[in-house]
């Protein structure tokens, strides 16, 4: 087995900044009467602020400093969201609180065309989500965790290399050494290598067997089981904005983080989403809910385009403080095999995506499909339907020469055919229908042509009056 640890050293800060386009000086403070700086971003460091400094001292250096109070529950939820997203790379995921996610990648290297390609996908994907991680790989999960938490971005594929890589690490990284850390330091024991030089029996009697067992698990000398992470059955996540906004770009920037998480969730389940709901939390206004109907998809770019269209047509009641994305409906999405003659399926997908973008911009009622209906009256020979829905066969319906554009209402030609420079080309085609519903019509349809080449669909009614009803392309 081969495990990759994703370690987030300043997770408490990253979860607040991932929804921001700009990077103002920002810190996270501890929860106490005299709070300290737990983490700070690069903009704060440039102003002389550092972890461990009191918040009062940090504000003295920058009066406009953005200060967040640590939210440990939000950190747990963030690790769960990352683990859910990482399920697209491996079915075996584990969370190692408070800052690590473990991914077993040994069984999926061939699928992703090698270790380097897989690692690039994971690291670039995390950056797109708004997280920066230290990645470390080893043959045991405990070793990968120790290397990751030490900030060592090393990738060891062979168990033989574990001993040399782990020996220089500080013993403060061991969970079982924390209570005895001062005593161990007093004895001159500072690294894992120092511990391994001590007699095993004496070490176990003095500090407990757990300390030695943790090191042996890391070295692969003992089994190293991990609690498997079970992903949720439904995607529902949110992101807070650093400051309330009312502009499109900041909202789309934050929403994109959630869409990418959703796509990872869908790939892990082999599913596509058919209905999304975006909730916008305002400062002083009721919640805004935007529903998106989609053909089953897990394409982030497609969902992003549809969401942008819908947001562009939405008038916000107030500035937005946070966004939530909910996958209302997901269905299994079959894998697509390669085609000998590709192209037709892609064309169909492009039409579907165009319809969804138009409905997002114009409204669902403004974009519909059409299906034939058995009625000789042209204005009644069709019905609206959902775009892309299956339709009945037109084999038994009346067939004739029909124009590409049918006027909503026939237009009288009061001047007559000669005044309109129209010459009859074909016809008549007589329609007698509608006596059963009180809208009786009697018409003789003709195809007429002008000298310039335009063709029109016209008819003469029972009173001898001429009407224009359609135009041929």
Strand order in the sheet with 26-29: 37-40, 26-29, 66-69
Residue 302 CA to chain centroid, in angstroms? 10
- Measure the CA–CA gap between 378 and 459, rounded to whole angstroms: 12
Mean pLDDT by 10 residues, the chain (473 residues): 95 90 88 93 94 95 94 95 96 95 94 94 95 95 96 88 92 90 91 90 89 92 94 92 88 94 94 92 91 86 89 89 93 61 51 70 72 74 70 53 83 81 84 79 88 85 88 83
Is 231 within 8 Å of 84 (Cβ atoms)? yes
Is residue 78 within 8 Å of residue 70, measured between CB atoms?
no
Residue 31 DSSP code: S
| Close Cβ partners of 274 (under 8 Å, ≥ 6 residues apart) | 293, 294, 295, 296, 329, 330, 331
Length of the chain equals 473
> Tell me, what's the pLDDT at 441?
85
Give the residue ranges of DSSP H helices in 1-71: 11-17, 42-46, 55-61
CATH class belonging to 236-336:
alpha beta
pTM, 2 dp? 0.75
Q: Could you report how far apart the first and last alpha carbons of the chain are, in Å?
A: 65
Enclosing H/E stretch for 252: helix 248-269
**Ordered DSSP codes for 271-321:** EEEEEEEEEEEESSSPPEEEEEEEEEE--HHHHHHHHHHHHHT---SS-EE
Question: What is the distance between the alpha carbons of residues 448 and 450, in angstroms, rounded to a whole number?
Answer: 7
pLDDT of 192 reads 93
Q: What residue ranges of the chain are covered by domains with CATH 3.30.1490.100?
A: 236-336
Q: Packing angle between helix 344-362 and helix 300-312, nearest 10 degrees? A: 20
Q: What whole-number distance in Å separates Cα of residue 67 and Cα of residue 164?
A: 41
| pLDDT value for 400 | 64
């Amino acid at each position: 087995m081969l495990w990759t640890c994703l370690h987030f050293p300043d997770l408490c800060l990253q979860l607040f900044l991932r929804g921001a386009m700009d990077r103002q000086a920002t810190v996270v403070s501890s929860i106490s009467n005299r709070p300290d700086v737990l983490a700070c971003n690069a903009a704060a460091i440039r102003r002389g602020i550092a972890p461990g400094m009191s918040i009062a001292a940090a504000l003295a250096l920058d009066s406009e400093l953005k200060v967040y109070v640590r939210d440990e529950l939000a950190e747990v939820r963030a690790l769960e969201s990352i683990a859910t997203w990482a399920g697209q790379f491996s079915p075996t995921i584990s969370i190692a609180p408070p800052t690590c996610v473990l991914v077993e990648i040994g069984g999926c290297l061939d699928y992703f065309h090698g270790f380097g390609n897989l690692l690039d996908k994971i690291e670039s994907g995390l950056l797109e989500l708004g997280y920066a991680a230290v990645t470390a790989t080893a043959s045991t999960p405990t070793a990968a965790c120790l290397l990751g938490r030490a900030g060592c971005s090393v990738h060891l594929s062979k168990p033989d290399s574990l001993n040399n890589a782990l020996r220089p690490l500080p013993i403060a990284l061991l969970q079982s050494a924390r209570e005895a850390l001062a005593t161990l330091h007093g004895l001159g024991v500072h690294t894992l290598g120092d511990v391994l030089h001590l007699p095993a029996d004496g070490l176990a009697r003095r500090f407990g067997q757990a300390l030695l067992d943790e090191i042996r698990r890391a070295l692969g000398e003992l089994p190293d089981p991990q609690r498997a992470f079970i992903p949720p059955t439904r995607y529902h996540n949110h992101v807070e904005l650093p400051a309330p906004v009312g502009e499109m770009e900041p909202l789309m920037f934050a929403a994109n983080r959630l869409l990418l998480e959703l796509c990872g969730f869908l790939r892990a389940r082999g599913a596509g989403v058919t209905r999304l709901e975006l909730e916008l939390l305002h400062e002083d206004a009721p919640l805004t809910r935007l529903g998106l109907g989609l053909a089953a998809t897990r394409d982030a770019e497609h969902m992003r385009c549809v969401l942008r269209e819908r947001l562009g047509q939405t008038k916000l009641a107030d500035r937005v403080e946070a966004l939530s994305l909910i996958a209302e409906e997901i269905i299994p999405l079959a894998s697509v095999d390669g085609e000998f003659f590709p192209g037709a399926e892609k064309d169909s997908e492009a039409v579907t995506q165009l319809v969804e973008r138009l409905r997002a911009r114009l409204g669902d009622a403004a974009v519909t499909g059409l299906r034939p209906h058995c009625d000789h009256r042209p204005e009644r020979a069709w019905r609206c339907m959902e775009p892309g829905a299956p339709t009945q066969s037109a084999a038994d319906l009346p067939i004739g020469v029909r124009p590409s554009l049918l006027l909503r209402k026939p237009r009288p030609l009061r001047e007559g055919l000669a005044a309109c420079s129209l010459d009859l080309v074909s016809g008549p085609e007589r329609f007698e229908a509608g006596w059963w519903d009180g809208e009786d019509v009697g018409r003789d349809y003709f195809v007429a042509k002008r000298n310039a080449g335009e063709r029109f669909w016209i008819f003469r009614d029972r009173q001898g009056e001429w009407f224009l009803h359609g135009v041929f392309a």
